[in-house]
Amino acid sequence: MSFDRLFPVLFGAILLFAPVQSCVAASVDEDSADHSGKTGNVVATGDFNGDGIADIIRAGPHVLDVLLGKSDGAFRHGSSYPLTGEAPRALVVRDFNGDGNLDVIVGDEGGTIFEFAGDGQGGLTAARDVAVVGSVVSIAAGVFTQDHRLDLIVSDESSNSAIVLLGAGDGTFRQIWSFQLPQIGKEYRLAAVDFNRDGIADIVITSDDDEGNYEVMLGNGNGTFTYAPQLSHLRDPNSYCPT
């Protein structure tokens, strides 16, 4: 597939890193954020009560709030759940346990990744830990293997690596692979999209400090990825060669 045909898909994936994002991922609300990640809210959207109207999930210091959408565009407070650990940094909304209801995964600055299972009526179960890394910056969800179950990839600032967690389809995950991110000391954000339309999610990696640079890695179908220089944009192509 030519780059000209792939460019709109790449551009759409990069838009996932905008300040407020869609139901598959989210980032810090820039209006209230300290870029150290110690304050501010992380937000995402999804229909948590099955009424066909988008709701908001908001993770702030020590609390996760569900705001239910109304038909007039307004929102009402639905429920709140305690968040233990450090400040939340990343939020992903998908059906991770296969029951047809949206679930929520939160990653925090201390490296803990929590999962809240949705009940389909706007409520969530109590949080449980699904993984612990060094310090979460970004999380993306996609199908990375041939089993077609949702998996996760986590940007970990402490180890300067991207960590792949394969999903079992029941809301549990196991770590199977990791690779180094471009430069130590930067915060890298991830999005998962099937760029080459082979049924396996690929990833794009970028940083707020990289001024338009991004790297694309194509999924191999077994939870690993291969760097795709022809789809990436680097000011210095020799500065980074992922393995």
Least confident of 22-26, 97-101, 139-143: 22-26
Concatenate the DSSP letters of all residues of 174-225 into one string.
EEEEEEE-SSTT--EEEEEE-TT-SSS-EEEEEETTSTT-BEEEEE-SBS-E
Q: What is the pLDDT of residue 236?
A: 63
Q: Can you give the pTM of this predicted structure?
A: 0.83
Question: Which residue do the tokens 């199908």 mark?
Answer: 143
**What value does the mean pLDDT take over residues 97-113?**
97
Query: Which SS3 state, helix, strand or coil, does residue 106 take?
Result: strand
Q: What is the pLDDT of residue 14?
A: 44
Q: How confident is the model at residue 65 (pLDDT cuts 50, 70, 90)?
A: very high
Q: DSSP character for 143?
A: -
| Among 75, 60, 49, CA closest to 26 | 60
Dihedral over Cα of 130, 161, 233, 222: its sign: negative
- Measured CA to CA, the distance from residue 5 to residue 100 in angstroms comes to 33
Q: What is the pLDDT of residue 46?
A: 98
Check residues 8 and 214 and name the one with the higher pLDDT: 214
Question: Tens of pLDDT along 31-63?
Answer: 333 333 444 689 999 999 999 999 999 999 999
Question: Tens of pLDDT along 5-37?
Answer: 454 444 455 444 433 333 434 333 333 333 334
Summary mean pLDDT of the chain:
85
Residues of the chain with pLDDT > 90, as a percent, come to: 73
Question: Tens of pLDDT along 113-138?
Answer: 999 999 999 999 989 999 999 999 99
